[in-house]
Amino acid sequence: DAEITQSPRHKITETGRQVTLACHQTWNHNNMFWYRQDLGHGLRLIHYSYGVQDTNKGEVSDGYSVSRSNTEDLPLTLESAASSQTSVYFCASSEGNTQYFGPGTRLTVL
Amino acid sequence: AQSVTQLGSHVSVSEGALVLLRCNYSSSVPPYLFWYVQYPNQGLQLLLKYTSAATLVKGINGFEAEFKKSETSFHLTKPSAHMSDAAEYFCAVSDPLSGSARQLTFGSGTQLTVLP
């Protein structure tokens, strides 16, 4: 069955370190998204991609970057982790109007 | 730009009682609307969606929602709550006519507790 996976599921890092969160989907979807989930805010869009070599900034993109070198993967990089980036991160993919979500990565920045 | 408001961050119901989770949207055009459910330590799962066909939409696990343009609402209901319905529920909206039609804007979520 097609699926979307995220790794790692849990990560603890220190302020200032670079961190990369992986997202891999086997749906062959063109559209991929990264969100962060924080209490009281729901999900907020960080970055998104509508195809290979296409990346766009979302609502809360400061301090994050993405790259899309193939259809299956959209890694999210925190250039210099900050405590404010402690959150749960979700990746999603879609073809059309329905998004399918990964299981999430819980990131703690100390 | 569209937005979604979920009234009530926490809702408690007794097992067997009606579940009503409220969602109001703001959009300049008829939107697409979605309800997602999130169980603890899991990702979001689509419950149902409205994409301009029938205004009463049936989803999984016995949930349904009705699109009411006059009230700008898309409330989620289930006639009889089950313990397994305890989860967080998110309403989301997209604008099908914009260049960002594929993007979703989420509400802040409603935590549903089901009491025995």
pLDDT of residue A22: 98
- What would the pLDDT profile of B81-90 be if each residue is shown by its tens digit? 999 999 999 9
Distance, CA of A95 to chain centre:
17
State how far Cα B58 lies from the chain centre.
12
Length of chain A in terms of residues written? 110
pLDDT in tens, A62-85: 999 999 999 999 999 999 999 999
| C-alpha–C-alpha distance, residues B31 and A60, integer Å | 23
CB B102 within 8 A of CB A31: yes
| From A31, A90, A103, residue closest to B102, measured CB to CB | A31
**pLDDT band at B28; cut points 50, 70, 90:** confident
Residue of B nearest to A97 (CA): B102
**Do A42 and B108 count as a contact with CB atoms less than 8 A apart?**
yes
Distance in Å, alpha carbon of A3 to nearest chain B alpha carbon? 12
In chain A, which residues have their Cβ closer than 8 Å to the Cβ of B41?
103-104
Q: For B75-108, what is each residue's pLDDT tens digit? A: 999 999 999 999 999 999 987 776 666 788 999 9
Q: Tell me, what's the pLDDT at B98?
A: 66
Amino acid at A97: N
Phi first, then psi, for residue A6 (nearest 5°) are -130, 145
In whole angstroms, what is the distance from residue A61 CA to residue A67 CA?
Answer: 13
> 3-class SS at A77?
strand
Rounded Cα distance between A104 and A83, Å, is 18
**Average per-residue pLDDT for chain B:** 91
Please state the length of chain B: 116
